[in-house]
Structure 1
Amino acid sequence: MLNYIKVFSGYFIDIQRIFKELQNLNISAIVKDESEYARLGGMGSPFNCILHIHVLEDELERAKPVFENFLSELELEY
């Protein structure tokens, strides 16, 4: 059985960037988009919804540097 773990939550543009980097490293990742639930529930625009990246538990250690790099770049911008 495949065990996916939620490792990151963020907005669309950030999730797309991170997801692409994970793909380049051949890391199995999925993005969960709950914007349809928000839209149907009257919670506003789907573009403001938070998305979630999940990676296979076995690949978690390989994925960590991608997230750490992304977060360090965010700190440099502020």
Structure 2
Amino acid sequence: MVKKLTKHGNSLALVIDRPVLDLLKIDAETPLDISTDGTRLIIAPAEPAKARKQKFEAAQEWAHRRYGKTFEKLAK
């Protein structure tokens, strides 16, 4: 599907068709995560805050297990 951006005040907007919104269960209240891989714009429903926090804590624990001694040396 090829889309064009629409002028919205001083910004540009992307209009997403209803079938796509329904398929992804997105409505006007759904927070969206917008990112890029350097060449593409990636738009996806944002994970709930609790899931993001759990992922962050898991990554933090992994880094601490793997690099904890290095972190201690750097802190001195």
Higher helix share: 1
Shorter chain as denominator, the TM-score bin is 0.3 to 0.5
TM-score, with normalisation over the residues of structure 1? 0.32
TM-score, with normalisation over the residues of structure 2? 0.33
Work out which structure has the larger RCO, using CA pairs closer than 8 Å and 6 or more positions apart in sequence: 1
